[in-house]
Chain A
Amino acid sequence: QVQLVQSGAEVKKPGSSVKVSCKASGDTFNSYAISWVRQAPGQGLEWMGGIIPFFDTAHYAQKLQGRVTITADKSTKMAYMELSSLRSEDTAVYYCAILASGSAPFDPWGQGTLVTVSS
């Protein structure tokens, strides 16, 4: 059973960048894709993008294209999500989640990382 453990909460200034990490346990890191989903306070879930570590290929939601970069390190079983040019609207809990295939559900999820953007 794969488990995902994310890095801790961050507080960032507007205009800066944040990089959130997600460590996978188990031997199946290269078999799946890892997606990132965020949730603003009191709001719903929003898919940001994902990566297939085996192929090192990433896809992004058009809305965030140019500001988000998702990477993976197969040797350490780590995935990363970097968001740049932060604004207050980026304040949210950021989750990583496993995606077994294109139409598969997100399962399991990391515990979430709160990113607060404030001056």
Chain B
Amino acid sequence: SYVLTQPPSVSVAPGKTASITCGGNNIGTKSVHWFQQRPGQAPVLVISYDSDRPSGIPERFSGSNSGNTATLTISRVEAGDEADYYCQVWESSSDLLYVFGTGTRVTVL
């Protein structure tokens, strides 16, 4: 089955930039979505279709996707960005159909 690999954790100082990678075989040919999950809350969509920002999501959140790596970038990081982040793709040839990345905990120092 298709596997999406993320770094377990990323630490970043307030005001700096956090980059979260999502690695998968030829992921650049798929649409990647990103979710933010704060402790005890349901996931929230922050980036869709590689780089689209849903209404209400700050411009500080951006995404890119090419080759074997998709990336979520959070600019000017704030304390409220501390959360778990998951990438996700639709993989029609997989028995799972919808695959989530392993998740990355972003810690704001």
Contact = CB atoms under 8 A, between A and B. Distances in A.
Contact size range, B: 20 to 34
B95 A62 contact: yes
Contacts of B92: 102
B21 interface: no
Contact of B42 (A35, A95, A102, A105): A95
B60 to A, nearest CB: 19
A53 interface: no
A47 B45 contact: no
Contacts of A106: 33, 35, 43, 45, 88, 98
Contact of A47 (B33, B44, B100, B103): B100
B54 interface: yes
Given A62-B95, A103-B31, A103-B90, A44 B100 contact: yes
B42 A109 contact: yes
6 contacts: A44-B100, A45-B43, A103-B90, A106-B45, A106-B98, A107-B45
Interface of B: 31, 33, 35, 42-45, 48-49, 54, 86, 88, 90, 92, 95-103
